[in-house]
Structure 1
Amino acid sequence: MKYVFYVLGILILSLGISFTIQSDFGTSPFDALLVGLSINVGLTVGSWEIIIASILICCNSFLKRQKPEVLGLLTAFITGIGIDMWLFLLHSFVTPESLYSKVVCFGIGLVVIGLGTATYLHTNFAPIPVDQLTLIIQELTRTNIFFREHAFTSYS
């Protein structure tokens, strides 16, 4: 059952990502990289997901001096196929043109991303390579990646 929720969560996540891309209103920085590569270099957004994840898995392996975590590639593969599948399907049914429809499409994407992420993370099965890289950098630099509230307070 764990694996069903794992795949279901990733497919829900990739649907949300596809909604934000289709909204033409904005995406996460990582997804913006994938879209930019797709537009400027070629290949599909999902293909770039798999390529960049493969590179990150190699980088993570090098930085940790361990064998590559190939389960992260499984996550990227399912996510990449999911994004391409959903973009193909959404392109036929969802083409927001007005500001209102773009905002609605973007909002739906954000909610669906949250739902997919929660479902996927609940299984605690395979790491996402970009998240793994963040944790490795934190470990190597011995820094805290979380902001403290008082760092943004104004002292007058």
Structure 2
Amino acid sequence: MKYVFYVLGIFILTLGISFTIQSGLGTSPFDALLVGLSINAGLTVGSWEVIIALILICCHSFLKRRRPEVLGLLTAFITGIGIDMWLFLLHFFVTPELWYSKAVCFGIGLVVIGLGTATYLHTNFAPIQLTD
């Protein structure tokens, strides 16, 4: 059951990320990097999510002289798919043009990001290991 909540949490998180991107008012620093790469270098935001995560995980693995964190790659892959899926769907249904509709879209995104993050982290399925 925790695997279902893990994936559900990531999809909720990516819905929130997609709302903030769609609002045009800004995103988190990492998502801004992904959007910038998507605009300037091609590929989708989700594709860049997977590519950058792969690079970072491999660099971490090399520096720590360990095997790469497979669960981190799984999280990045699911996140990339989720972002692309939601951006594709929201493009047809959510196109805020006025400042207040952009602000509402951004606010919804922030709340949904919080709910998604809490849901997937609560499963403790793919914990981020910061220390040895």
User: Which is bigger in relative contact order (C-alpha 8 A, separation at least 6)?
Assistant: 2
Structure 2 unmatched ranges of 5 or more: none
Once the two structures are TM-superposed, the CA of residue 70 in structure 1 deviates from its matched residue by 1.0
What code does the residue aligned with 1:15 have?
L
Q: CA RMSD in A?
A: 1.2
Q: Name the structure 2 match of 1:101.
A: 101
Deviations 1:117-147 (A, max 9, x none): 000100111246xxx5xx36xx7xxxxxxxx
Once the two structures are TM-superposed, the CA of residue 63 in structure 1 deviates from its matched residue by 2.1
- What TM-score does the superposition give when structure 2 sets the normalisation length? 0.96
Bigger Rg over Cα: 1
Q: Which runs of 4+ in 1 moved over 2 A?
A: none
Aligned residues: 132
- What TM-score does the superposition give when structure 1 sets the normalisation length? 0.82
Q: Name the structure 2 match of 1:34.
A: 34
Distance 2:75 2:113 in 1: 15
Q: Identical aligned pairs, as a percentage?
A: 88
Distance 2:3 2:73 in 1: 15
Once the two structures are TM-superposed, the CA of residue 64 in structure 1 deviates from its matched residue by 1.6
Q: Name the structure 1 match of 2:53.
A: 53
